[in-house]
Structure formats: C-alpha cells, structure tokens
C-alpha cells in the first residue's frame, strides 16, 4: 500500500501550504488506532477553507484514509481531546514529509507536555467530569438507575483521563490499560462498577460516594486553569466568561463547571443592581 500512496502524499508535499505528512500503518488485525483502515495519511496544512478534509482509497482487499487538517484544527483536537487517536498517530506514525521540522517540534512538545498545556487539558477534562458526575447524581436521586449508570461510566472515563494527565502523559485509545498501571485505585472503581455482583442501585450508591472523594481531591488542580484566567479581573458576567478566548475551549461544559466551583466555594457570586429592584445581575469572581 505504501508504494500506491506515495504519489498521493508526494503531490501534497509539493504544496507550500503543507507543513507535515505522517503515515500510520495498521498494527493489529482489527485496529481501533486506524479506524479499521490498513493505512492512514495525516496531512497538516497551514490553513484551508475546510479545516478537515477526508478521502478514502481502496486497492484489492486493502483500504486507506487520508485526513487533511489545518494546524489550528490539529491543536484544537489535541487540547480538547476529541480525537484520542491523534497523539498516537503523531508519536508513533512515520514522518514522510516535514517542512521546517514542524512535525518533529510537535512530537517534542507532546513528549515534554509543558505544564501550561497540561493545565488547560486537565481543566477541560475536569469540567466534563464534574458535569457528568452532577447529572448522574441527579438521575440516581430520581431512581433513574440506567441513566445514572451511563453518566457514572462517562465520569469515570474522564477521571481516568485526568489521572493520565496528572502523570504527565497523554491518554491512549485504550485508556483503562494505562490507568491500571498509573492509578490502580481509579481502575478498581471502574472494575467494581462493571463486574460487581451487587445490585445496580448498590453499585451506584457506592460509586457516587467513592467518586465524590476522588473529585474533591482533584478540584484544586482541575480548576487551576479557569481560576487563573478569571483572576485577571475583579468580576465577570457569564457572557464575558463565554467570550474569553481561553475559556471557549470548555464549550458546553463551561456554565456547569462555573456552578460546580460556586458550590465548592472557589468562585463567589457578585450581585449587581439592574433597572428593576426585584432582580439582580449575577456576576462571578474568584475567591481570594
């Protein structure tokens, strides 16, 4: 397949807009890393009208996928974690074109995992964790155990990814295999949820209690990024928070995360007068 794909990536390499090309080969018979494809071509460009462009190819019984993405989209995926295979592709893939050592520098940054990037990723992951946990607890209290189960599984997955970040590493596609080595206590929580012979209600009750401890112990580190950003002003309206460039990465989890931190006493409510005496503006400030 390599010989067949070479003309395709050589053509892309001749485009001055292309800054890096990585080839990824299937390592197992059924490979989640390559989305079941035999080969993946990841092509990074400076800019494009389409931030993501994909083509599929086939030859005999083989199949390949080409993904062309902008460097802005690449960093969005890396920060938000919406494409967990991407880190594996960059670190373990074969570099077939590298303009001005763009890919090599990217690999180095992923290996080094600077604390500034780690804080952002931990914050985003913790926001997702707190949302799923809070929603799951509501379902549990309403006796909707299957919905509660779905949410606690998701929250444990975010907790697992958070544990990987805390160890200065990037989550892999098979994150529980990682966590079993890095944080056995969190792995045990997950294992007890899915393999325990207790009733679903009892399992959930125990899991919510245990999760409360793990979440509480990680709140300070998980909230560090958002609290640092919000400390730059005395108080914020919710619209100002949404428009702050650094906090846009939190997306739909932002408001729930703010309320979670209010509940934990890390963010305080600042009430301001409106034209009506009966209602007040609700603003937010970091507890000093």
Residue ranges of domains in the chain: 2-109, 113-222, 228-288
* Distance, CA of 185 to CA of 199 (rounded, Å): 21
Give every CB contact of residue 135 below 8 A, 6+ residues apart in sequence.
Answer: 151
* CA separation for the pair 162, 123 (Å, rounded): 9
pLDDT for 33 equals 83
Cite the DSSP H helix spans in 81-199.
85-92, 102-112, 115-141, 145-166, 175-182, 184-195
Average pLDDT over residues 80-96: 88
The confidence score (pLDDT) of residue 1 equals 64
Higher pLDDT, 5 or 178: 178
Q: Report the 10 Å Cβ neighbour count for 51.
A: 15
The pLDDT value recorded for residue 134 is 93
pLDDT of 52 above 80: yes
The bridge status of strand 39-45 relative to strand 52-59 is unpaired
Torsion, Cα 43 13 5 3, to 10 degrees, reads -140
CB atoms within 10 A of CB 204: 22
pLDDT digits (tens, 9 = 90+) for 212-240: 999 999 999 999 999 999 999 999 999 99
Percent helix, percent strand, percent coil in the chain, to nearest 5: 60, 20, 25
Distance between CA 103 and CA 88 in Å, rounded? 13
Taking domain 2-109, whether its CATH number is 3.40.50.11890 is answered by no
The residue assigned the tokens 């592709």 is 89
Tell me which of 249 and 274 has the higher pLDDT: 249
pTM for the whole structure: 0.85
**Rounded-to-integer distance, Cα 3 and Cα 250, Å:** 42
189-192-198-200 Cα dihedral, nearest 10 degrees? 60
Q: Tell me the average pLDDT across 105-115.
A: 91
H/E segment holding residue 3: helix 2-13
Q: What is the end-to-end Cα distance of the chain in Å, rounded? A: 60
Q: Identical fold at 2-109 and 228-288?
A: no
Structure tokens at 93: 């893939």
- To 10 degrees, what angle do helices 145-166 and 115-141 make? 160
Buried b (16+ CB within 10 A) or exposed e, 74-96: beebbebbebbbbbbbbeebebb
Do 162 and 122 form a contact (C-beta atoms < 8 A)?
yes
113-222: CATH number: 1.20.120.330
CATH of domain 228-288: 1.10.10.10
Whole-number percent of the chain with pLDDT over 90: 70
Q: What is the mean pLDDT of residues 184-213?
A: 92
Mean pLDDT of all residues belonging to the chain: 91
């Amino acid at each position: 397949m390599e010989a067949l794909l070479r003309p395709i990536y050589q053509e892309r390499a001749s485009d001055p807009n292309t800054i890096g090309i990585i080839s990824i080969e299937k390592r197992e018979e059924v490979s989640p890393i390559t989305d079941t494809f035999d080969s993946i071509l990841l092509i990074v460009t400076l800019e494009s009208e389409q931030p993501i462009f994909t083509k599929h190819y086939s030859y005999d019984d083989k199949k390949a996928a080409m993904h062309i993405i902008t460097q802005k989209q690449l960093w969005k995926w890396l920060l938000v974690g919406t494409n967990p295979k991407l880190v594996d592709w960059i670190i373990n893939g074969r570099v077939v074109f590298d303009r001005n050592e763009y890919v090599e520098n990217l690999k180095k940054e992923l290996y080094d995992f600077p604390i500034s990037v780690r804080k952002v990723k931990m914050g985003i992951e913790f926001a997702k964790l707190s949302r799923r946990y809070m929603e799951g607890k509501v379902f549990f209290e309403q006796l909707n155990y299957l919905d509660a189960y779905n949410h606690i599984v998701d929250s444990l997955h975010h907790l697992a990814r958070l544990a990987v970040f805390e160890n200065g590493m990037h989550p892999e596609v098979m994150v529980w295999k990682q966590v079993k080595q890095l944080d056995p206590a969190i792995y045990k929580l997950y294992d007890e949820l899915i393999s325990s012979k207790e009733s679903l209600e009892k399992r959930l009750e125990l899991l919510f209690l245990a999760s409360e401890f793990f979440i509480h112990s990680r709140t300070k580190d998980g909230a560090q990024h958002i609290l640092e950003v919000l400390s730059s002003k005395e108080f914020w309206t919710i619209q100002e928070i949404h428009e702050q460039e650094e906090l846009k990465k939190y997306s739909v989890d932002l408001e729930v995360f703010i309320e979670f931190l209010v509940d934990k006493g890390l963010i305080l409510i600042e009430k301001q007068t409106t034209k009506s005496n009966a209602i007040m503006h609700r603003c937010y400030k970091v507890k000093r």
